Amino acid sequence: EDQVTQSPEALRLQEGESSSLNCSYTVSGLRGLFWYRQDPGKGPEFLFTLYSAGEEKEKERLKATLTKKESFLHITAPKPEDSATYLCAVQQKRGGKLIFGQGTELSVKP
Amino acid sequence: GAGVSQSPSNKVTEKGKDVELRCDPISGHTALYWYRQSLGQGLEFLIYFQGNSAPDKSGLPSDRFSAERTGGSVSTLTIQRTQQEDSAVYLCASSLVGEFIYEQYFGPGTRLTVT
């Protein structure tokens, strides 16, 4: 069964304290792995798509990496505005629906 | 440009009533998706429309749930005889479709509360 597991469920950081979020996945043929950010009361906002093991993508303080079994979202020197829930999702090779993890709720304190 | 829009933003209904939720996708996006996000739960896939193909209804939790997409654009998700367990945020997303991998863009959601 296709499955996505994110850890930790919640992460509290001080401003400037770098860390990583983990996304482990099991999927019958990976088409792509997606990272989204979700603020309270809003829909998920697209961050990255990763296609193959070894791939990395960066955007401001965020860097996403992918292996054959997991993905990491590295946050370097986070700021309070980075506080949000970060969602990981996979799409099967045949396309269509995304299978989401439960998310990691990140809180960055000044 | 305009993103995905959904209406209403909030809906409170009594148990047993029917509700309709609307989604306007990004212009030109041929794929449209409905997901549900319950308190403490991840996003759960409901249904997927792509062009003129038969929709993927594999995520609909019961036959009380149905959806249609008219003219390849606007979509309506209908929940009949609502139950308290239907309370959730219903999210719509749209994307391009093709040989490349396209990200899904989400609307703000409709928060449904069944009393």
Closest residue on chain A to B42 (Cα): A102
What does the pLDDT average to over A10-31?
A: 95
Nearest CA of chain B to the CA of A45: how many Å? 7
pLDDT of B27 strictly over 90: yes
pLDDT of B90 strictly over 70: yes
State percent of chain B over pLDDT 90.
Answer: 83
Contact state of B43 with A49 under an 8 Å Cβ cutoff = no
Chain A residues in contact with B43 by the CB 8 A cut-off are: 44, 87, 89, 98, 100
What does the pLDDT average to over B57-65?
A: 96
pLDDT bracket for residue B71 (50, 70, 90): confident
Distance CA A43, CA A57 (A): 22
Chain B residues in contact with A41 by the CB 8 A cut-off are: 108
Q: Which tokens sit at B94? A: 């749209």
What does the pLDDT average to over A40-63?
A: 96
Nearest CA of chain B to the CA of A35: how many Å? 10
Contact state of B56 with A97 under an 8 Å Cβ cutoff = yes
State residue A1's pLDDT score: 85
What does the pLDDT average to over A90-98?
A: 88
pLDDT bracket for residue B1 (50, 70, 90): low
State residue A94's pLDDT score: 80
State residue A86's pLDDT score: 98
Whole-number average pLDDT of chain A: 95
Nearest CA of chain B to the CA of A92: how many Å? 11
State residue B18's pLDDT score: 98
What does the pLDDT average to over B62-71?
A: 94
Contact state of A103 with B103 under an 8 Å Cβ cutoff = no
Q: Looking at the complex, does the CB of residue A99 fall below 8 Å from at least one CB of chain B?
A: yes
